[in-house]
Structure 1
Amino acid sequence: MWPRSDALAREGVDVPGQVSVAGYDDSPLSRLVHVNLTTVSQNAEEQARQAVARVVERLDSGRDEPATVALEPALVVRGTTGPPRAD
């Protein structure tokens, strides 16, 4: 599925002139030059590292209590968002 910004542009909507569009997962698709989607990175690599570390901790150390890890999301500004319009 193409990002909404691409569908809007194909319909003649000026992105980001008329509307800003943002995604939520910073997928490789969002980084393509013609997509250039502003997105929130949830750092999938670090999520995977932390998940594996918790599994290893549980298997090697016998941890049986739940573990919580909070990762900071980051806004990755690209070409699909602009400043607010003063109407």
Structure 2
Amino acid sequence: MDVAANASHRRAQSRPLSNLLNGNAALSADMAARLEKAFKKFTRKELLDMQAEYDAAQAKQKDAPANATACAAVSDDQSQQH
């Protein structure tokens, strides 16, 4: 591989990490595995759990639509009656 092709390849590889670090992309399972291997500070599961917690917090901050209504959870007993 020549120098120009190698540089192009490295830019392409760094783009997903750059997007993650700049808040333009969520953490993928593949990226979590790579970060786990590279830094050995957090496990892939811990990283993905952090992403899930962040996603949940972001969703909670968004306002619910004005026409949204709450619904009660249905237990297994209730669902079998219908």
Whose helix proportion is higher, 1 or 2? Answer: 2
Per the normalisation by structure 2, the TM-score is 0.26
Structure with more contact order per residue of length (Cα contacts < 8 Å, sep ≥ 6): 1
Whose strand proportion is higher, 1 or 2? Answer: 1
